[in-house]
Amino acid sequence: MFDRPATGERAVLVQMDLGQGAIEERLSELELLATSAGATVEAVVRGRRSAPDSALFAGSGKVQEIAEALQAHGGDLVIFNHALSPAQQRNLERSLSCRVIDRTALILDIFALRARSHEGKLQVELAQLQHLSTRLVRGWTHLERQKGGIGLRGPGEKQLETDRRLLGGRVKLLKSRLAQIEKQRRVRRRARERNDALTVSLVGYTNAGKSTLFNALTKAGAYAADQLFATLDTTSRRLFVGGGNVVLSDTVGFIRDLPHALVAAFEATLEETAHADVLLHVVDAASEDRDAQIEAVNRVLEEIGAAEVPQILVWNKIDLTHAAPAVERGDCDRIRRVFLSARTGEGLELLREALAELACRDALPGSGAADPVGNQPIQ
């Protein structure tokens, strides 16, 4: 008998090499996601395939290896660092006799843990229900029969159909409530535009230090922690700089292969980013995977319609790389990158000066997405 870990469920992680590259970074990120969700990583199973198996994703031989790892470590669940189809998930659970979740479900679970505001909770629930809608058969297989018997005679609906109908009604209600919140957001946005305040959104890969930078600039006391998706709810504060007023917003962090259900559910929140005057793209300068992270952020920005918003790369955590605070300029003397440490405060004054310069409205950086190595935006 295995003792239950105090920190959560025992998890076996599965990472398949399908030719996507950066396998070590992907696996390290999966371990962080699993621990952020409260799981204890007991074993990691790796494999290589040219393409996913249609029935089991990993293939029968690899599934047997996963089963052995589960038995050896008393595992409670298996986490795939990939998107599984409903059929693949169902087949894997039957073969392994335990719960199997994919990357999308894991990220949704973390979002559910982190959501604090009313809007954030509504958005997460909507994303979860949309993801669940294709997987209802797993939960109701044993009830897929016509209702009958005294006191149970109904309209002839199967339980699965009833649940889908109820789920559809809940999704419709959530969308209606979020639409109302978005109307209120638009009113606030128009008020800011009338006040002629420069709107700046912090964007970047999860755990790049956006909330720490936001707190350092505004003294807002927003929650910041060394964990993935510490921030879900957008927080805005007015910042006074030499060139005028700036409305600075802290937003949810992005991640590679961000589930489309999340992007759709958080559309209203992410729309704030698309309507910003300038994006401060915060980069973890100490990460060996920073180039791929910059690229992943720019892909999400393109998906939400924010690819054309001017951006400045903020090279954060220079205290870990021993780099010096600096401002890098490009064509027409426009600001391209600022090197700083939000934790120690090095270079913060340079960023304030950059924001003051931007607030003059005649010095916005050139638009366009940053190139893959993050040197400067492509013209």
Bridge partners (DSSP) listed for residue 239: 246
Annotated binding site for Mg(2+): 211, 231
Annotated binding site: 204-211, 229-233, 250-253, 316-319, 341-343
Bridge partners (DSSP) listed for residue 75: none
Q: Helices marked H in 195-289 — which ranges?
A: 210-218, 260-265, 267-274
Of the candidates 202, 252, 260, which has an alpha carbon nearest to the alpha carbon of residue 232?
252
**Is 46:16 a contact under the CB 8 Å cutoff?**
yes
Q: Quickly count: other Cβ atoms within 10 Å of residue 86's Cβ.
A: 13
DSSP state of 135: S
Hey, what's the torsion of the CAs at 258, 51, 53, 141, to 10 degrees? 20
The span from the CA of 127 to the CA of 232, in Å, is: 13
Annotated binding site for GTP: 204-211, 229-233, 250-253, 316-319, 341-343
Q: Helices marked H in 141-158 — which ranges?
A: none
Q: Write phi, then psi, for 330 (nearest 5 degrees).
A: -115, -140
Of the candidates 312, 321, 359, which has an alpha carbon nearest to the alpha carbon of residue 343?
321
